[in-house]
Chains A and B, each alone.
Chain A
Amino acid sequence: MTSTIDDSDKEKALSVSVDLNNDTSLLIDIPDALCERDKVKFTVHTKTTLSSFQKPDFSVPRQHEDFIWLHDALVETEDYAGLIIPPAPPKPDFESPREKMHKLGEGEATMTKEEYTKMKQELEAEYLAVFKKTVQVHEVFLQRLSSHPILSKDRNFQIFLEYDQDLSVRRKNAKETFGSFFKNMVKSADEVIISGIKEVDDFFEQEKTFLLDYSSKIKDSTARAEKMTRSHKNVADDYIHISSTLNSLSVDDNTKVEGRVASDQELKLTELLRYYMRDIQAAKDLLYRRARTLADYENSNKALDKARLKSKAVAAAEEQQQQCLQRFNKLSESGKRELTSFKGRRVVAFRKNLIEMAELEIKHAKVGQTGDSLSFYLFLYFILGQKFTYAKLTVSLNSLENSRK
């Protein structure tokens, strides 16, 4: 059992942009999604060879809340306490492009038609990027579940995939939501207490230190990466304004390049960091759960000692202690597995993303060169009017480009 898990773990190579594992018995993807104002409707498509499903190939419409329900259901399942539950996909956030679109609409009067169209295009591209991102994130969530040997067999998961009617009847009502909020608060308080517990296992001690530290660092990096890409976007927007001021003569390859660098970087680096920020939280949750069982075990030990002292209800206490020990061991064992595979996953994902990001940067920088010269060439034409000696400037620009290549 252990060996097969290790194998499939290695082959998982899950990254933010997901690769499917080799096991094709359950393939899930989100082929399309519809965006209606605030709500996004995902079409979850499943292809399976497993007999546990009614049909081999089917699709269902799902909303974001359904994903959250599924995630919470998994988290609350006792049996999965020793597993890293894949983090829930974040809520689709169209706030930023929507706000910008609004501002753009307000400022329409002050811009030339062309500038307006270009800004609108940029915004639409941004909107699209957000949209793609959210689809991807939801997809990844499901795919991680489907490739997990234990989680993929979860009943709720099956229902999620198959149930062809609205899931809302099963979703949390308001009271429950509040309840879970409260639970989260208690959990973080517990976390503080539990991090003080003496760890018996070196592996877990190390993991705990590492994860705590890494988690805060990655949060920090994510925030800064987001700031950086936002600034980059501002610069790109400025290029749009500048180039559009050049009357009808301007062609802005330049702006597209700059804009796209920002949004692709967004998709690559920031997404990577964001995803792992959540994943690390999930790993921390695992540690927490295990630490809780350790605490329980220690408590049960104390209870047993007390019972022995008083010679009362010893058998029950022993039973309890055994149970606790069992749970603790189970969690430790599966926890170890999960954490090791998590590390492997993380390294692979980072590698893939960093490579892609670097390649993209290079590609865009190369395009940017020619784009820049083109737009400024036309700028000069405009600003100098007829006095401008066309030929001379072309020559000098060409020599610039040639000297570069």
Chain B
Amino acid sequence: MAAEMEPPPLGDAGQTDFREIEDGEGFFVSTVTTLESPEPSSPDPPSMPAEGISTNGPKQEDISLDDDPEDLFAEATEEVSLDSPEREPILSDGPSPAITPVTPTAMLTPRMGLGTAEMFERSLDEIEEDDSGDTFDMHIAVSDPEKVGTFNTVLMYSYIKTSMTIFSKNETTVRRRFSDFLGLHSKLASRYLHIGYIVPPAPEKSIVGMTKVKVGKEDLSSAEFVEKRRSALERYLMRTVKHPILLKDPDVMMFLESSELPRAVSTQALSGAGILRMVNKAADAVNKMTIKMNESDAWFEEKHQQFENLDLQLRKLHASVECLVCHRKELSVNTASFAKSAAMLGNSEDHTALSRALSQLAEVEEKIDQLHQDQAYADFYLFSELLGDYVRLITAVKGVFDHRMKTWSKWQDTQLLLQKKREAESKLQFANKPDKLQQAQDEIKELEGKVQQGEKDFELISKTIRKEVSRFEKERVKDFKVVIIKYLESLVQTQQQLIKYWEAFLPEAKAIA
């Protein structure tokens, strides 16, 4: 069966957490196969829905690799998002949509991709979640960023997930826009932040980056931008689903499963909702300054301080690492240029052995330049992005603490109000105004209820935060450990390569007669 499809090299391998990574060639995944005839409907496990067959014939099939390893049918991941107005333009779009053939689970196709990213991905396997009864065996991959639409070219991302018992199918693939991700985050934030859950922040919008992409500049920087965004989205989703409460949220479920989502318009930066958000943020900041909380719980005091420190340190570290990435890229460029000129020098040298040695030197430097590039890549994707994520996460954590403060302050305000009403009531008792008295007493009852509620809320949020923080800490440890080890490995590897190159060069230098 595989023979029918002639799988191009970029294959989606058996492990579903493999994702295709753009090589920076363009937005259309290079696994393009011409479709001569529509693929016959696969004898797939019936649980796979057919996503709808468009007139041009690209098949959309979901594949359960777990159930049917023999199934080699191509999985058409360019499934049209069923926002119908966009369907036609997609189909008439230039190169044929990407098809990712699937190879049997046993065989892992050699990846043209990047080793470090792979390693990162694999490390996300088998993450046990202590709280839930299920073994948490969820993999999310965000892949295949693809341009669709003619005017408003928009990047669509898709992802694949597997095997969670609470979901109806073993695996689905859906396409989502960036604004969908933002929409999901804003829904979750509005629902959960104020009761103390740490909602992972979504990646940021970038007008400059997106414009470049839309304009169609297919150069290195826009490819990098796409890759950066893709991996950020993936991390975002993974964090979100690792959270046991958030995972059960209906919006999340819908996001992961349903093939079509209502367009999230309120996420646009300059929309009315956006402006409202900004105003709210400003108001919050002012409020924060005016609330003076009586912290009775030492734990919170300590944690708050701790997070402030961590925030500072991480920001500083992040800035330094970004500097490092920049400088390493520069180093690689300069090394390459030196390699070229050393080669030219070798050419004009008339002493043969020396000339050969110089050319060798040029080659070594060129290889080293490549090494530097790869290291820069690792620097960035492993280390710097992780730090960036955590800087944002800590902002969310601080936000949660702030919400707790707000809750407390609300409770206190209600209490104060109750106090005042009680005083007013006692005054009214002497003033002998029965209906006003009744009204006051009613109000008091209401307020008493509110006070109780406020207290409960406050306790609830405190409890939630404690749990959340401890989960956060655990996650953080895991995250950092995994990434640091990877990064360390990459550094070590670089050094090893360096040694190899120079050791190979040394005899050449010695051979100069």
Contacts and interface: CB of A to CB of B under 8 A. Distances in A.
A51 B81 CA distance: 97
B492 A396 contact: no
Given A351-B512, A404-B492, 19 more contacts: A221-B338, A221-B344, A228-B335, A228-B337, A228-B338, A231-B327, A235-B327, A238-B320, A350-B354, A354-B361, A354-B509, A361-B498, A362-B506, A369-B492, A369-B495, A376-B491, A380-B484, A387-B473, A388-B481
B327 A238 contact: yes
Given A217-B348, A245-B313, A369-B496, A351 B484 contact: no
A347 B351 contact: yes
Contacts of A235: 324, 327-328, 331
Interface string B312-355: 01001100110110011011011101101110110011110110
Contact of A245 (B316, B333, B351, B495): B316
Interface string B288-310: 00000000000000000000000
Interface in A198-236: 210, 213-214, 217-218, 220-221, 224-225, 227-228, 230-232, 234-235
B374 to A, nearest CB: 14
Contact of A239 (B317, B324, B333): B324
A359 interface: yes
A379 B349 CA distance: 48
A206 B87 CA distance: 71
22 contacts: A213-B348, A218-B345, A221-B342, A227-B337, A228-B337, A231-B327, A231-B335, A238-B327, A241-B323, A242-B317, A247-B313, A343-B351, A350-B357, A351-B354, A354-B357, A355-B509, A359-B506, A369-B492, A372-B495, A376-B484, A384-B481, A388-B477
B477 A400 contact: no
Interface string A245-265: 111000000000000000000
A313 interface: no
A232 B331 contact: yes
B4 interface: no
B324 A238 contact: yes
Given A384-B477, A404-B492, A355 B506 contact: yes
B181 interface: no
Interface in B462-513: 473-474, 476-477, 480-481, 484-485, 487-489, 491-492, 495-496, 498-499, 502-503, 505-506, 509-510, 512-513
B320 A404 contact: no
B253 to A, nearest CB: 31
A221 B341 CA distance: 5
Contacts of A362: 499, 502-503, 506
B323 A238 contact: yes
A372 B488 contact: yes
A320 interface: no
Contacts of A359: 506
A229 to B, nearest CB: 9
Interface of A: 210, 213-214, 217-218, 220-221, 224-225, 227-228, 230-232, 234-235, 238-239, 241-242, 245-247, 343, 346-347, 350-351, 354-355, 358-359, 361-362, 365-366, 368-369, 372-373, 376, 379-380, 383-384, 387-388, 393, 396-397, 400, 404
Contacts of A224: 334, 337-338, 340-341
B506 A245 contact: no
Contacts of B323: 238, 241
Contact of B499 (A210, A218, A241, A366): A366
Given A221-B341, A379-B484, A228 B495 contact: no
Given A221-B341, A235-B328, A387 B474 contact: yes
A368 B344 CA distance: 31
Interface of B: 313, 316-317, 320-321, 323-324, 327-328, 330-331, 333-335, 337-338, 340-342, 344-345, 348-351, 353-354, 357-358, 361, 473-474, 476-477, 480-481, 484-485, 487-489, 491-492, 495-496, 498-499, 502-503, 505-506, 509-510, 512-513
B334 A228 contact: yes
B495 A368 contact: yes
Contacts of A245: 313, 316-317, 320
Contacts of B477: 384, 387-388
Contacts of B338: 221, 224-225, 227-228
A209 to B, nearest CB: 10
A376 B477 CA distance: 14
Given A220-B341, A228-B335, A384-B480, A376 B499 contact: no
Nearest to A270: B338
A24 to B, nearest CB: 28
Nearest to B306: A385
A383 B480 contact: yes
Contact of A380 (B320, B344, B480): B480
The residue among A220, A227, A235, A343 with the most chain B CB atoms within 10 A of its own CB is A235
A346 B349 CA distance: 11
Contact of B502 (A234, A365, A404): A365
A388 B361 CA distance: 44
Contacts of A218: 345
B506 A358 contact: yes
A400 B499 contact: no
Contacts of B513: 347
A119 to B, nearest CB: 12
A223 to B, nearest CB: 8
A245 B319 CA distance: 11
A247 B316 CA distance: 12
A3 to B, nearest CB: 22
B499 to A, nearest CB: 5
A397 B486 CA distance: 11
Nearest to B337: A224
Given A231-B334, A245-B320, A221 B345 contact: yes
Contacts of A376: 484, 487-488, 491
A238 B319 CA distance: 10
A377 B333 CA distance: 30
B498 A220 contact: no
B313, B330, B488: residue with the most chain A Cβ atoms closer than 10 Å:
B488
Contact of B498 (A214, A347, A365, A379): A365
Contacts of B333: 231
Q: Kindly list the 3 A-B residue pairs having the minimum CB-CB distance in the complex, ordered from nearest.
A: A231-B331, A354-B509, A351-B512
Nearest to B511: A351
Contacts of B335: 228, 231
B135 to A, nearest CB: 21
Contacts of A247: 313
B331 A400 contact: no
